[in-house]
Amino acid sequence: MKTLNNTYLSRLDHLRFFAAALVIIYHCRGFLKYNNELSGPVDFLKLWITGGNSGVSLFLVLSGFLFCVISNAGAKNISYGCFIKNRVLRIAPMTVLLCFIAISVNRVHSDPMDILRILTLQLNTGHATTGWGQQYYPIGQIWTIAVEFQFYLLFPFLALFMRNDGVKTMFGMIAVMLMVKYSLVIFKGAPIYGIFYHTIIGRMDQFLIGMIAGYLYLRKEKISFTVAAVFLIVAISGLTSVLYFNKKSIPDFVTFSFTIEAAFWALLIYAYCSARFSMNQRVDATLAYLGGLSFSMYLLHLPIYYILQRKLIPMDPNPTMHLVKVILVVIPVTILASALTYAYVEKPFLKLRVKYTK
């Protein structure tokens, strides 16, 4: 996503598209199951598909990384009001549209608390397993918007801390969050994972790790393709291990799961953005454009999937064939719908953004 406040990094949009595609495949996987083994390529793919909600973590680490780079690790002065205005212009149009669809569907029982839930950033409450509104319209994924915006409210302060103390305060805050999570695991056990998953308590260190990665990116030279490839292999191997242990529901691992996951995503982001390699301009532009659609893709894919299930591609009992249909039909249709909402819902508001750094 191009910004008035920094040089555009198209590779970040490439990764946004990858994150959106990963989440879409996860949500639309049908009957595909992972059998708790990791003995070959098929098991590897099953693990990643059934763990594709890790794409949410990639989105959050990307946010921390991007805003750190935009602020030059806090070296630039940030106008708090202008920063928040831009964040509202970025996320409110699609969010409000979907929320009012849910409110309209539930108009008989809806009350002012629904509006208050939007205004107080509580979209990650009101449902046992996902975000508010899922019971009325398939928009449960909006829970992430609440967590993202809570980070936005804190970021200008975090950037200031980074300017004053480097990454020391970031590491200290991560330690505090780990301490809090450990206490909750002791009291609640492994099931607390779902609470961590949907709240800033579980996700805050992912933003902070993204900021640390951005800090390192700003201070290091480009790396060779070979070094980047090694980093990518380490990152993918590490993420695979995290997904594997997440399936085991080990209480002691739950404390550190999101932190370790974020560290490996941060390594992947750093490697991809820092690597010296050239890309065909058309491929680069296409991936960047798709990354620009990622917000709409993330919000729209479930309604589209359920509509397509009813009208065109009913659930296939063969998991492989179902996955092929998701890739060849669901994702392209989601892209087309997202291109429409991006052009006529998101973009008009994005043109109203202002410069918030100096």
DSSP per residue over 40-83, as a string?
Answer: SHHHHHHHHHHTTTHHHHHHHHHHHHHHHHHTTTTTS-B-HHHH
Judged by average pLDDT, the poorest of 1-15, 72-86, 194-208, 310-324 is: 1-15
Residues facing 223 on adjacent strands: 275
H helices of the chain, in order, are 10-27, 41-50, 54-70, 80-105, 112-119, 143-165, 168-188, 193-198, 200-219, 225-246, 251-274, 281-292, 294-311, 319-325, 331-341, 347-350
For residue 304, is pLDDT > 70?
yes
Pairwise CA distance, residues 349 & 90, whole Å: 7
For residue 187, is pLDDT > 90?
yes
For residue 343, is pLDDT > 90?
yes
Mean pLDDT, rounded, of the chain: 95
Query: What pLDDT does residue 39 have?
Result: 86
In this predicted model, what pLDDT tens digit does every residue of 332-341 receive, in sequence order? 999 999 999 9
Over residues 112-123, mean pLDDT: 90
In this predicted model, what pLDDT tens digit does every residue of 28-63 receive, in sequence order? 999 999 988 888 999 999 999 999 999 999 999 999
Judged by average pLDDT, the poorest of 69-73, 166-170, 315-319 is: 315-319
Quickly state the pLDDT bin for 127 (edges 50, 70, 90). Answer: confident
Nearest to 150 by CA among 198, 200, 195, 197: 200
CA angle 243, 246, 249 (to 5 degrees): 165
Over residues 317-325, mean pLDDT: 95
For residue 358, is pLDDT > 90?
no
pLDDT above 90 as % of the chain: 88
Do residues 36 and 13 touch, judged by C-beta distance below 8 A?
no
Over residues 81-109, mean pLDDT: 96
DSSP string, 178-203: HHHHHHHHHHH-GGGHHHHHHSHHHH
For residue 4, is pLDDT > 90?
no
In this predicted model, what pLDDT tens digit does every residue of 132-167 receive, in sequence order? 999 999 999 999 999 999 999 999 999 999 999 999
Nearest to 67 by CA among 214, 285, 265, 276: 214
Could you give the dihedral angle defined by the CA atoms of residues 330, 335, 340 and 346, in that order, rounded to the nearest 10 degrees? 120
Q: Angle between the 54-70 and 200-219 helix axes, to the nearest 10 degrees? A: 50
Residue 279 structure tokens: 């890309």
Pairwise CA distance, residues 62 & 74, whole Å: 17
Pairwise CA distance, residues 204 & 151, whole Å: 7
